[in-house]
Chain A
């Protein structure tokens, strides 16, 4: 444990925290942002930073909006699920399959999505000895909403919510970071592969923006690497991070160069292959 001093802002002058002027009570309680001028008080504490990551669905949505098309054979085969025997492989591939399911849902591939859901259930039982999303009737909901992309995305969001609740209730934040690492690597893999085929400027912008996530992901994995079991993964992610050099140096929007995209493609593909075991 280390002792650090955190200077915490306490309010000296709140220039104005505006209450939205909506017509109903609910809207009136939503606070929109104004700059708050602060003074500092000193807090002594011994705690580490916590990390919150976006859902794989949101990243898939952003990529899709930027032009990510569907290429069927890019995702990890569900036949591989029985090959993952260590807890770490199972968690990483839970993330990989979550990202694949999000990719299928985004592209209205309902049967594929149901197949991935079954695979996730199987992995969930291996990892936690329980089917985390068992009670949700997700397969039926997916089937009932074939072709309705909007509904399918809400179902996927429910799945994520259920998983997060389970991890929070059982204080398993470390598992969440490993699962997210798998999901992030797979989504990046899908992004660079589609870009390789189609060359898409908007998609490159969204891929470049992922630097913000990778920084936090590395921080989180580092924090959970007390027993050095995540050292390999950490080294691999730090190696990927080298392609994003310059992200923090400029006020302007960071964008990966053609060379960086090419190298990122190679390294993400190699890392993803290592995880899925193809």
Chain B
């Protein structure tokens, strides 16, 4: 059974899951290659730029920045890699230091904003992938575009 013949009830959750796992992968799965690559490059670059600026030791902080961490988790596998780097960074500190601040606080803030915004942008991408995985919706969008009412 080819990908286009997959029922919408299977296609939609798979597209959503793939879009969460790797930004843009949901769009690649439904055949929207250009859009998928733009999402993948932009969101991954934003996320890793944030990690580079703030440092994984402090930018990813599941204990003290719970809401930001929730947003960061929306970038999927990349956030899990960053959590692993964070754990490694924390483990390199003595156990007596409960809240090690590794790096400059301003860099940490900038890094946290970058990674959090990358996650929130991926939420938009996940919703778009779920929306576009439904063939009826795609046909409706194509029809609206051919009438010259493309959304910009």
Partners in one complex: no
